[in-house]
A = this chain, B = another copy of it.
């Protein structure tokens, strides 16, 4: 690489690992290093996970737990986009289309994986369809909205058994996040119900299902676990140890294939798996996580790095770094230091860090804490400690003020049940185009199937620089299915010959229909074959055949 060309570091994912890597790179890099830092993330904010459960109960405002990435990282270039694909050979990241149908190609010199994990409900019937995950801000808000919905609905009906179903909640997973969300949900529901004269607390049932023998067994010592269990039980949470959520439907949760709990709301915090993007790459993986050296370099590469929950990082004392925020942010510092050392051709240093302790909130002004392996706290002291520590770690001064205000308001203003409802996304979208507009171009990503409601479009294909009009399509005809069926880029351009109205079906929706509606599949496959042939040979097809 010539020294005059600016090197580019691309960081994928803005969780604790990605954000702290960028933060330290901004600090360590000098202008003369001639390096550009780029961060790719789906959202333009960083979510402060430890406070997410408080969103459910409303102790902090809906967006108080998030910080603007641009403000946190002023020297970093941010791409708020989804990742379409990664090419480690060509060193290119393709970003998904946004307000257009074409990808954006981003070259890199160094790549940092901090993609975390994704919620994965595969393998447990009904979970994907009916269980609410608890991982992102959107998840927390969805759980809050659901709680308000079921309470409102229960309050307005006379059917006792439906009321009980509505006010029963099953939470799968008794780790930190499961316990925190169970505690907040339980407090919120029981406080809310008091405002509804037609309801009473006896109707409420909160069940926490945990496969192990004690709560937060991976995170806390036994006597803090027992304290947490005592607190939750006293507040009315029914805890099931050594049991598993094995299925869920619209109306019930099934425990260990036999017991049925009638409940409209099932929350699962258990299964989270590596980002599916990683599976397609040639990376050394251990249980789906990227294997790195102690320098955080990915094995077999000298320009690919990884950290956080998507990485498998060896520790000096044996074993691997645990997937916690504490570790991720220290890993970020080490990774940034090593990246800078690498660029400056200095020696790298190994990652080492010993956990300071663990803190878990239990809602309702109580928490459990374990510091330096010795000190253990519980109750309101642990809770105050929890708030103090997390508040100090909250990135950005503005956010600190906002959260402080929210906590203050939460003390003086009683509980609220106001929901935030956004406009629902329509499943099948209708679109309008003016004459001459291009619906998609040859080479674009195949994201939608289109059905013509009115107007005429022309299908145009380029060969050796000359455009061939292959077909003219009218009302009732469809187009765009080939790229979806064959998982390829668009094979032709579609241009509006008149004003045009179309229905657009998302790729996933179209795929689901095709896979299950035989009559639809047959028709599409037959037409598809003819069209592929026609396109390959530049034959005309469709109604108005024009060569």
Chain A residues packing against B (C-beta within 8 Å): 43-45, 61-63, 66-68, 70-71, 77-81, 98-100, 104, 125-126, 128-130, 137-139, 141-142, 148-150, 152-153, 155-157, 162, 166, 195-196, 247-252, 254, 260, 264, 398, 401-402, 405, 409, 412-414, 416-434, 437, 451-453, 475-476, 478, 499, 501, 503, 505-506, 508-509, 512-513, 515-520, 523
26 contacts between A and B (CB under 8 A): A43-B419, A44-B148, A44-B417, A62-B420, A70-B417, A80-B156, A81-B156, A99-B150, A99-B162, A99-B264, A128-B430, A138-B422, A247-B434, A250-B432, A252-B434, A260-B434, A426-B509, A427-B428, A427-B505, A428-B508, A428-B513, A430-B512, A451-B517, A453-B516, A475-B516, A476-B517
In the assembled complex, the Cα of A433 lies from the Cα of B247 at a distance in Å of 9
> Which residue of B is nearest A434, CB measured?
B249
A225 to chain B minimum Cβ distance, whole angstroms, is 32
Tell me if A's interface is mostly helix, strand, loop or mixed. mixed
In the assembled complex, the Cα of A402 lies from the Cα of B410 at a distance in Å of 10
> Which residue of B is nearest A425, CB measured?
B425
Interface pair A433/B517, CB less than 8 Å apart: no
Q: Which residues on the B side are within 8 Å of A98 (C-beta)?
A: 149, 153
Interface pair B519/A519, CB less than 8 Å apart: yes
Interface pair A452/B516, CB less than 8 Å apart: yes
Given contacts A68-B416, A70-B195, A126-B433, 11 further A-B contacts (CB under 8 A): A44-B417, A44-B418, A99-B166, A99-B264, A126-B434, A249-B433, A251-B437, A426-B508, A428-B509, A453-B515, A478-B517
> Which residue of B is nearest A145, CB measured?
B422
The verdict on A104 contacting B156 (CB below 8 Å), with A417-B70, A519-B519 known, is yes
Interface pair A432/B166, CB less than 8 Å apart: no
Interface pair A476/B70, CB less than 8 Å apart: no
Q: Which residues on the B side are within 8 Å of A71 (C-beta)?
A: 195, 416
In the assembled complex, the Cα of A516 lies from the Cα of B501 at a distance in Å of 11
A421 to chain B minimum Cβ distance, whole angstroms, is 6
Q: Which residues on the B side are within 8 Å of A156 (C-beta)?
A: 77-81, 104
In the assembled complex, the Cα of A73 lies from the Cα of B196 at a distance in Å of 12
> Which residue of B is nearest A192, CB measured?
B70
Interface pair B519/A437, CB less than 8 Å apart: no
Q: Which residues on the B side are within 8 Å of A518 (C-beta)?
A: 476
Interface pair B250/A431, CB less than 8 Å apart: yes
Q: Which residues on the B side are within 8 Å of A126 (C-beta)?
A: 432-434
- Most chain B CB within 10 A, of A157, A196, A422, A515, is at A422
A136 to chain B minimum Cβ distance, whole angstroms, is 8
In the assembled complex, the Cα of A231 lies from the Cα of B475 at a distance in Å of 48
Contact of A424 among B62, B81, B425 (CB under 8 A): B425
Interface pair B68/A423, CB less than 8 Å apart: no
Contact of A509 among B66, B141, B402, B427 (CB under 8 A): B427
Contact of A512 among B162, B428, B476 (CB under 8 A): B428
Q: Which residues on the B side are within 8 Å of A437 (C-beta)?
A: 249-252
Q: Which residues on the B side are within 8 Å of A247 (C-beta)?
A: 432, 434, 499
Contact of A516 among B62, B419, B433, B476 (CB under 8 A): B476
Contact of A427 among B63, B66, B148, B425 (CB under 8 A): B425
> Which residue of B is nearest A43, CB measured?
B421
A12 to chain B minimum Cβ distance, whole angstroms, is 15
In the assembled complex, the Cα of A247 lies from the Cα of B435 at a distance in Å of 12
- Most chain B CB within 10 A, of A43, A80, A130, A260, is at A80
Q: Which residues on the B side are within 8 Å of A61 (C-beta)?
A: 61-62
